[in-house]
Structure 1
């Protein structure tokens, strides 16, 4: 999105956008950030272009990016964005950035997660009841957006 190849170790801005129904990360060079049209950005964060790995690496999620995405999608009303935020919340719970207080069910059976963020901030998220293929697609998109290779 910056019109040039980004160098390993370079600081860039990761931008979450939704294109053709899929969540995608665009990397914008720092010098191009101010000129970038932010209108389509759902979220953004600063990141470093990873160094090339010499061996096979595992993918690790960037917790800071996930926290930013979670906060930026707080007011989402689009079902796809709400489902993406739900998957992000599950990842943050696994990373111990959010803690699950309880699961609440409405009389109609709708499930809600009651989550607690450090600092005492509470969140309530509706379970989007994802089909297996939708969950797999969202997970793949999440890894593409907030994943980084790690040799750990």
Structure 2
């Protein structure tokens, strides 16, 4: 687990120094401080920022949320990993899509997120390692036909470009 995976308190809606409401899209500096053994987040507008307070655990620059704030774009590799998981047999929200999972695995190999095992013994199974997750997966080779390949491509494209998907 990295420090970015920890559950930090959410961004506040006003400047900790001036009390002024933070506007959507406005640059903000956030600080983590220890208050009586509890980690507390304080957010400062850029103009009110005078440096980290004494004893600060950490600080960083970010952007205030709200409707005008830009949405954070997830990396295509993370989206593909989520699809790979969702298309696995027995996934909570899917019935399993072995051909789509195989395509996602191949794309993740191409992106160097997965490493294919060159010494595979069974040609019907693709063995891949994901160093990021410290996991090895056995993916049945299931090449989709041309029609299904187009459907899978559309599903992947919609996941990678949600803002372009018609609502």
- The bucket for the TM-score relative to the shorter chain is 0.3 to 0.5
Q: Please give the TM-score of this superposition, normalised by the length of structure 1.
A: 0.47
**Could you say which structure has the greater relative contact order, defined with CA pairs below 8 angstroms and 6 or more residues apart?**
1
User: How does the TM-score come out when normalised to structure 2?
Assistant: 0.43
Rg (Cα) greater in structure: 2
**Between Structure 1 and Structure 2, which shows a larger proportion of strand residues?**
1
